[in-house]
Amino acid sequence: MVTSVTSFSRTGLSDWLVQRVTSLVLLSYFLFIAYQLLGSVDYTSWRALFDQTWMKVFTLMASLSLAAHAWIGLWSVFTDYLTERMLGPKGNAIRLLCQLGASLSLVGYVIWIIVIVWS
């Protein structure tokens, strides 16, 4: 069973780089959010933050990074454990089903974030 067909960018080297670039975006986003939450946050200041265009763009970047990062990470986990060797003859079908569920969820996450931030 060829597994690279469900990988994020078809090649391991590219997936490796995407995983690292997206990790930096996510790390800076979560550090920023943690910094905001550790200060005194109320609805007015929280809403004002997310009304800024740069924060909307930053949030969208983080959501796209999350989708790519999770896709690559889950693909690595699925192709290691959800295999015919680990699960028997149904291994490939189970993996593809999980892959599909994960991918659809991640697309859903991105759409959800766009709706949250831009509506």
Partner 1 sequence: MTLRENVRSTSKDPRPVNLDIGTINLPVTAYASITHRVTGVLMFFASFLMLWALDMSLASEASFNHVASILGSPFPRFVAWGIASVLTYHALAGVKHLIMDAGVGETMQGGVIGARIVFALAALGAGAWGALIW
Q: Give the shortest CB-53-to-partner 1 separation in angstroms.
A: 15
Interface residue with partner 1 among 93, 104, 107, 116 (CB under 8 A) is: 116
Q: State both tokens at 93.
A: 């079908």
| Pairwise CA distance, residues 69 & 41, whole Å | 29
With contacts defined by CB under 8 A, how many residues of the chain interact with partner 1? Answer: 29
Q: Which of residues 29-88 bind partner 1 (CB under 8 A)?
A: 30, 38, 42-43, 46-47, 50, 66, 70, 73-74, 76-77, 83-85, 88
11 is a contact residue toward partner 1 (CB under 8 A): no
Which residues are CB-neighbours of 11 under 8 A, at least 6 positions away?
A: 4
3-state secondary structure 53-97: HHHHHHHHHHHHHHHHHHHHHHHHHHHHHCCHHHHCCCHHHHHHH
Residues in the chain, overall count: 119
Interface with partner 1 (CB under 8 A): 1, 20, 23-24, 27, 30, 38, 42-43, 46-47, 50, 66, 70, 73-74, 76-77, 83-85, 88, 102, 105, 109, 112-113, 116-117
